[in-house]
Amino acid sequence: MGLLYGLIAVGLALIFGLMDVTNFAHGEFLMIAMYLSFFLFAFFAIDPLLSAPLVAAGLFVFGAVVYLLLVRFAMRAKANAGMVQIFTTFGLAIVMRGLAQYFFTPDYRSIPQSWLGGKTISVAGIFLPEPQLVGALVSIAAFAGLYLFIHRTDFGRALEATREDPGAVALVGIDKNRVFAFGWGLGAALVGLAGAIMAVFFYIYPDVGASFALIAYVTVALGGFGSVFGAFAGGIIVGLVEAVTALVLPPSLKSVGIYAVYLLVVFIRPRGLFGSM
Amino acid sequence: MDKNFAARRRRDLIIAAVLAVIAALTPLFVKDVVVQNILILTLMYAGLSQSWNILSGYCGQISLGHALYFGLGAYTTELLFTKFGVLPWFGMLAGGVVSALIAMGLGYPFFRLRGHYFVIATIVIAEIGLLLFHNWEWAGAAMGITIPIRGDSWLKFQFARSKLPYFYFALLLACVAWFVTWWLEDSKWGYWWRAVKDNPDAAESLGVDVFNSKMGAAAVSAFLVAVGGSFYAQFVSYIDPESVMGFQFSLLMALPAVLGGIGTLWGPVLGAAILIPLTELTRFKFGGSGSGVDLIVYGTLIVLISLALPRGLMSLFSRPKKTGATR
């Protein structure tokens, strides 16, 4: 479960953590991805596992378009940049929820049978549910990929440089909007991947994103802004803390443990565990 | 410059008095209950947003967790009333004091956080409060508290037949919040807050007590929001954790100030006067069917306003040379 939070958080880590843009619609990106996965299954009988790359590609386009049409302008604000970003993306989140309600109805949907759904696998006598296991593997791969991508490629360096000083990168010929649009696309594609896998074992409804979004923010902040590895570590910690809390406290309080750990961490280290900002 | 400032403050006070009188007279002409309802909510959010603006606008500590204080005000009042028979007026005061104390207790460890870390901490703290109340059997848990109807009386601040008393209280709340802001704007605190907002390190080095400034702003802000929460509880006469402590309240409180002009005296009033009727009307016109059209309209409005006027509507009124955000 922790790696799953990690998977949702990794896309956010890119947008929120590395580009320093607040995205309050991250949960809604997840929701769209889950619906996309659902409809691909319902109409074309494509298993979520196979459609995951399609969903990711779709979300990539969506993320890039959102950046070019909205976020680009929100970032231009000279005053209150933070609040403008918060409320622009928050407004977008509300619109997306409204659209989902309008077109998909507020009904709960689920993917009844898929290759992975409901199956378990036995590893050395421990039974693990397959979807979660695949989610965990994809999550590790996604983090590793993103880490290498940010630290080993020209694009990754361009991204960090753009955040640091958008004016200076323009001088060396980097188009800020192209870099950030690509970054947003990538962030959205990662959450698309998460959505496709989660569609297998979660109910899908217009508000589904809200319940995961806050935990994703906490995961990113816990790990520290500006650090891919931090978000990964944050995801694992969040998952472990949730599992432990669920043993000690009633299930409805399981998130309290996560929040408390976040507060404890930032109390001791105000920049998160591995944060550079 | 000084003279201008004093003149502006006098002018603000006169405008406020005139607006308050006009507002007080509206019930003479507006008899429609739906419209009265919208007016009450508008005034309430004007007051709440003004209070939020003290901590987040003037002092620059963006809180998206003020729902906690709203809920604490509502719960303190109603728990005291239903369990111990304490009159809501005292409960209201108690709720305010409890919230202010908790705000300072939370500020003590967490005011050293900055930026996103602080904002997320405020959200998370409010969420913990919400979950705790959800599981607190004595306080009604998820079922909430239904306030027993004991007949109309000012003593119990309860009116089933007419909404007017609520209207006047909401007006009073908005006026008090406005006046407190007006008064603090030109006090030592007001100057400290703006210094802390603009550059905490520079302020500290010039002898501003940064930590205590934040604590003061948090206490005033939380107290007023809690009073608003008590009022809301009496007004709707039923509370549960989601309906008074949900995350949406934190945003609804912030939104009028942000749209009107964050850190300005008139921003929250202006923002609430435009936003709340729009919200209620879109809900009235498109909502209810669960089709989501009201959400689409509302969300689009928020996006457009925040993109078009990053400094809020107040920036339309300030002369181009001045920076609207710091007035």
Is a pLDDT exceeding 60 seen at residue A115? no
Give the pLDDT score at B290.
60
Q: What is the pLDDT of residue B203?
A: 77
So what's the pLDDT on residue B324?
A: 44
Rounded to a whole number of angstroms, the CA Rg of chain A reads: 18
* Lowest-confidence segment of A111-120, A178-187, A204-213, B8-17 by average pLDDT: A111-120
What is residue A123's three-state secondary structure?
Answer: strand
Predicted pLDDT of residue A113 = 61
Q: Give the pLDDT of residue B150.
A: 67
Tens-digit pLDDT profile for residues B256-308: 888 887 778 888 888 888 888 888 887 777 765 566 777 788 788 888 887 87
Mean of per-residue pLDDT scores for chain A? 77
pLDDT at residue B289, as a whole number:
58
State the pLDDT confidence band at A277, using cuts at 50, 70 and 90: low
The average pLDDT across B143-171 equals 72
Length of chain B: 327
Residue B325 has pLDDT above 60, yes or no: no
Considering only the beta carbons, identify the residue of A80, A91, A255 that sits closest to B300: A91
The pLDDT value recorded for residue B321 is 45
- Cβ atoms of A190 and A56 closer than 8 Å: yes
Q: Is the pLDDT of residue B194 over 60?
A: yes
CA atoms within a 13 Å half-sphere pointing along the CA-CB vector of A217: 25
CB contact under 8 A, A84 and B128: no
**pLDDT computed for residue B155 by the predictor:** 62
Which residues in chain A are closer than 8 Å to B117, comparing Cβ atoms? 221, 225, 266, 270-272
* Residue given tokens 């003593």 in the structure block: B155
Summarize the confidence of residues B193-217 as an average pLDDT. Answer: 78
Q: Among all residues of chain A, which has the CA nearest to that of B113?
A: A270
As a whole number of angstroms, the distance between CA B258 and CA B52 comes to 10
Q: Considering the entire predicted model, what is its pTM?
A: 0.82
Instruction: Express as a percent the part of chain A with pLDDT over 70.
Output: 87
φ and ψ of B323, to 5 deg: -90, 120
Res A172: pLDDT:
74
- B296 closest CA partner among A74, A93, A105: A93
Residue A172: what are its φ and ψ, rounded to 5°? -95, 15
- Confidence band for B184, pLDDT divided at 50, 70 and 90: confident
**Predicted local distance difference test score (pLDDT) of residue A80:** 65
Contact call for A81 and B127, based on CB within 8 A: no
C-alpha span between A4 and A18 (Å, rounded): 20
For residues A228-253, average pLDDT: 80
Which of A228-237, A266-275, B49-58, B318-327 shows the lowest per-residue confidence on average (mean pLDDT)?
A: B318-327
Amino acid identity of B54? I
What's the pLDDT tens digit per position in A49-59? 777 788 888 88
Q: How confident is the model over A222-241, as a mean pLDDT?
A: 81
User: Does B42 score more than 80 pLDDT?
Assistant: yes
Min Cα separation A74/chain B (Å): 6
Instruction: Give the per-residue pLDDT at A190.
Output: 85
Is the model's pLDDT at B82 over the cut of 70?
Answer: yes
Which band of pLDDT confidence, cut at 50, 70 and 90, is reported for residue B322?
very low
Chain A positions touching B108 (Cβ under 8 A) are none
Residue that has been written with the tokens 């942000």 in this structure: B258
Q: What is the pLDDT of residue B35?
A: 81
Contacts of A147 (CB under 8 A, 6+ apart): A228, A229, A232
DSSP lists the bridge partners of residue A126 as A123
Full 3-state SS string of A90-119: HHHHHHHHHHHHHHHCCCCECCCCCCCCCC
User: Which residue in A15, A26, A254, A266 has the most chain B C-beta atoms within 10 A of its own C-beta, making it the best mutation to test that interface?
Assistant: A266
pLDDT given for residue A38 in this prediction: 84
Residue A178, classified by CB atoms within 10 Å of its CB into exposed (0-12), middle (13-18) or buried (19+), is middle
Name the minimum distance, in Å, from the CA of B7 to any CA of chain A. 26
For residue B320, pLDDT beyond 60: no
